[in-house]
Amino acid sequence: VRVAILVSGRGSNMAALIDAAAEPDFPAEIVAVISNRPNAGALAIAERAGIATAVVDHKAFPSREAFDAELDRALRGFAPDVVCLAGFMRILTDGFIAGWAGRMINIHPALLPSFKGLDTHARALEAGVKLHGCTVHVVTPEMDSGPIIAQAAVPVLDGDDEDTLAARVLAAEHRLYPRALRLWATGAARLADGRVITESAEA
Ligand code: GRF
């Protein structure tokens, strides 16, 4: 299974996927990392790991449609079976998403359907929830709303601030995303009637 990763920033989730895929028994190969930001830290990490990289700078395009068309062209050049969004901070057009329907997955730093969108950790603290976490889901046109593949919960502790909570969730993300990609890549987790069913608890 060929996997491309879309990133915008530091790339710690991307790095977790690259590390997992380096294991001989992992069912997927990371074939490319594409960033919409030329200076994303993720690019240097990917290059060091010997993975092909590309930049499609959103600032160079007059519209979301034009950017997405070029992103699509760049992606298809690597012929991925699965596309992983890992801290990719652009809203994608419905047309682009439709072209990758059922093949694009995302990690979101909250237990969906709670706290869609940005600033999830601040909003979790504000809400006073005692459990928070992260979700890997299939990407559909409605943001952060696609079928859930896997989730991991972490406690919210008294005295947490945004940074301590974010760090605890991020560590969980780094464990969850490789596990979810493994499930998705093997077909152990798959779409059925608009939800994800999982054949075995652990693949
Ligand atoms: C992660 O928390 C991810 O869930 C969110 O953005 C952050 C990206 O971090 N969408 P990194 O670039 O993977 O380090």
Q: What is the ipTM of this complex?
A: 0.97
Domains 1-100 and 108-203 share a fold: yes
- From ligand 1's centre to the CA of 107, what distance in Å? 8
Catalytic residue check, 132: no
Closest CA to 133 of 103, 166, 158: 166
Closest CA to 76 of 99, 50, 57, 93: 99
How far apart (Å, rounded) are the C-alpha atoms in residues 172 and 141?
26
Atom of ligand 1 nearest to the CA of 170: 2
- From ligand 1's centre to the CA of 16, what distance in Å? 11
- From ligand 1's centre to the CA of 116, what distance in Å? 14
What pLDDT score was predicted for residue 200? 75
Helix (H, G, I), strand (E, B) or coil at 40: coil
In tens digits, the chain (203 residues) has pLDDT values of 999 999 999 999 999 999 999 999 999 999 999 999 999 999 999 999 999 999 999 999 999 999 999 999 999 999 999 999 999 999 999 999 999 999 999 999 999 999 999 999 999 999 999 999 999 999 999 999 999 999 999 999 999 999 999 999 999 999 999 999 999 999 999 999 999 999 975 54
What pLDDT score was predicted for residue 46? 98
Atom of ligand 1 nearest to the CA of 7: 12
Catalytic residue among 108, 121, 132, 174: 108
Pocket lined around ligand 1, Cβ cut-off 6 Å: 9-14, 86-87, 107-109, 170, 173
What pLDDT score was predicted for residue 202? 52
How far apart (Å, rounded) are the C-alpha atoms in residues 165 and 90?
24
Closest CA to 130 of 170, 151, 160, 109: 160
Helices then strands, each counted (H, E), the chain: 6, 9
Domain boundaries, the chain: 1-100, 108-203
The protein residue whose alpha carbon is closest to atom 8 in ligand 1 is: 87
- From ligand 1's centre to the CA of 88, what distance in Å? 8
**C-alpha distances out from residue 98 to 24, 122, 183, Å:** 32, 32, 22
What pLDDT score was predicted for residue 203? 46
Could you tell which of 170, 176, 177, 181 is best to mutate to test the pocket of ligand 1, judged by most ligand atoms within 8 Å of the CB? 170
CATH number of 1-100: 3.40.50.170
The protein residue whose alpha carbon is closest to atom 12 in ligand 1 is: 11
Task: Answer whether 139's CB lies under 8 Å from 161's CB.
Answer: no
How far apart (Å, rounded) are the C-alpha atoms in residues 112 and 135?
6
CATH superfamily of 108-203: Formyl transferase, N-terminal domain (3.40.50.170)
What pLDDT score was predicted for residue 201? 54
